[in-house]
Each structure stands twice: as C-alpha cells, then as structure tokens.
Structure 1
Amino acid sequence: MKRHAALVPLSRDHHGGLILARLLQKDAPPYKGLPADLPGKADYAVKFYNEELIEHFHSEEKIVPLVKNINPRLDELLGSVLEEHKILHSLFRDLTDHADLASKLDLLGKTLEDHIRKEERQLFPLIQDTVGTETLDKLQHLLS
C-alpha cells in the first residue's frame, strides 16, 4: 500500500530505526560503518535514540489526538503503540547498565523491530483507511 504523504516522514524515519533494530539483535550481520562490538552498539543505540527516536516518538504521539475516537481498532492500536513507546524509552535508558549487554541489546532490537513493523503494517494503513482527507491534511501540516 502506498503511504499517504501525511505519513511519509514517519515511514522514512523507520528505515534508520529498522537498521538499528537489526544491528542490536544477536544474529545481526555486520553493517558497514556501524559498530560491531557490544559496547559500540550500545553507544550507537543511545546516540540514535537521543538524536532521532525521541523526536520521532514525539511526532507520532502528536498525531494521536487527531486520529483517536474514529475507529475502535485504531484506538486499540494507538494504545498499544503508546505503551510500546514507554517500554522502548525504558529499554534505551537501561543500556547505561552494561550487565548482560548482549541480552539487553537483543531484546531492544527485537522490540524496536516489532514496534516499527506494527506501525508500518497495521497502524499506518488503518489510519489511511479510516480517517478522512481533511484529517490526513491536518496530519500532513502537523508533521511538516
């Protein structure tokens, strides 16, 4: 499904998030130009979180008031996504404690990947299918 222009900026951000998610998982292949050791991956993850993901989550959360109370399934997904944001914030903050770092990185990578896939495969298509053109225009203005 082609992404509506209002949601394109959020989808574009997901590319970097998916690379990070895969990098952090135990079975990750090496990525050219990205760290290969656990402390390097943790530092990269925290930097990416601080410089990219916090603002990305904030942008996603800004759209919630415009799209909630339109469809029960959409409301359910919104609640789930917002709860996942809280979990992800906690997982990123937990990386400062390097005990069992491999497991923490793997859990974070899998959680982040699942979260992004849910948004791309379920949330964004449902938004496009259920909200009207006027709301999509408002979203586009809000996110630009």
Structure 2
Amino acid sequence: MTSVISSGAALLALRPRGADNRPYMLRDKSLIPLSHQHQHCLALCVRLDRAIQAGGVDLEAWQAEIQQIFEQEITFHFAAEEKELFPVAARFPELQLLVQELVTGHILLRDFFSRAAARKLHVAGLQALVEKLASHIRKEERELFEGMQRLMSPEELSVVGGALQQSLAEASNACILPSAATRLRPKQ
C-alpha cells in the first residue's frame, strides 16, 4: 500500500506546474477533443521547429502541409472555440480579457495560415508561426481550460462538451501524414 501512495505522490510531483507552482489540473473530458487537436498542432510545431533548426527547409512542402492541416482541422477547431467555448468563458469576468486575447490570436494565426496557403511564408515566417501557435495553444490549455474547469460545474462543462462535439463533427478525421520533406527529424 505504501508503494502505491508514494508512487502516486511521485507522479503528482512530476506533473507540470503553473506560475503559482500548483500542478495543472487533469483535463475535463468535455475539453479533451480540443486538447487532442492541440496535440496535433504542437506536433506540427515540433517537427517544423526541428526542420528549421536543421536547415534546408522545403518551404513548398511545409506550407502545403500547413494549409492542409488548417483546412482539415484548424478551421473547424477555431470555429468551435469561437462559437461554443469563448462565449461561455467570457461570462466569467476573470476570463474576459483572456478570451479577447485568444480571439485576437485566432486572427493573427489565420493570417499566418493564409500566407502559407498563398506560399508567402519564408523561414522566419514559419518560425514565427511555430512560436505563435505553440504559445496560443499553451495559453488555451493552461489558462482558459484551467480557468473554466475551476469556475464551472461538471454539468456546465458537459453541456459545453456536447456543443463542441457537434461543432467538431465536421472536421476531417483523416490522418494527415507528413511528407518526406516534413517528417520528424532527430534533434541535432
């Protein structure tokens, strides 16, 4: 029995922590579909960042993949957040400024995705996209989702989850596979 308790305490000690040194909450099941999509985008950010660090980025291939991910997943993700999640979160005064920042972030990110679709991003633009997208996702996960879970009842979160599920139903379930030029490269 002691080993279970001590191993549980050890796992809790390893959980990521916020600025206040408290461990982040486990994600409510209603928000998990958005978190899974966030993981897909963070994986894109890691692969692209490693490619940039290694040099010789195939701009055409990366921008084509970014366009595909935006059209098949991120467009629906943003729409679901803006229609279902942000209005609910904005009801809480302590989340209103954060919601405004996230809406502004969507506008900025849509501009990056539009430039990628037009094949107008260079390496510096791709690096800026990686930084902005990763930062935006972390803000949603660590601040918005945590705040909503703290302020809302499980029943309220369940209602939001149902609405999100309907909104996300249009998103492609296709697995977007990287091309040879955009596959994950070992860290150098």
Band of TM-score, shorter chain = 0.7 to 0.9
Question: Is 1:66–1:135's contact at 8 Å kept on the other side of the alignment?
Answer: no
CA distance in 1, matches of 2:132, 2:77: 16
RMSD: 1.9
Q: CA deviation at 1:134?
A: 3.2
Instruction: Give the counterpart of 1:23 among 35, 39, 47.
Output: 47
1:68 positional shift: 1.7
Cα separation, partners in 2 of 1:14 and 1:100, compared to 1, 3 Å: closer
Instruction: Work out the CA distance in 1 between the residues paired with 2:102 and 2:85.
Output: 12
2:72 equivalent to 1:51:
yes
Largest Rg, 1 or 2: 2
Aligned with 1:127 (options 126, 138, 148): 148
CA contact 2:34–2:77 (8 Å) conserved in 1:
yes
Cα deviation, residue 39, structure 1: 1.5
Given the alignment of the two structures, is residue 63 of structure 1 paired with residue 85 of structure 2, yes or no?
yes
Q: In structure 2, give the amino acid aligned to 1:16.
A: H
CA offsets per residue over residues 21-63 of structure 1, 9 Å max, x none?
223332279xxxxxx6221111101111111100011111122
CA distance in 2, matches of 1:121, 1:58: 20
Q: Match of 1:8?
A: 32
Aligned pair in 2 of structure 1 residues 99, 57: CA closer, same or farther (>3 Å)? Answer: closer
1:14 corresponds to which letter in structure 2?
H
Moved more, 47-56 or 128-137: 128-137
The structure whose residues are more often helix, as a share, is 1
**Aligned residue identity for 2:81:** E
Which position in structure 2 is the counterpart of 1:88?
Answer: 109
The answer as to whether partners of 1:67 and 1:135 remain within 8 angstroms in 2 is no
Shift, 1:69, TM fit:
2.1
Aligned length: 137
Q: What is the Cα deviation at residue 77 of structure 1?
A: 1.0
Tell me the CA shift for residue 143 of structure 1.
Answer: 1.6
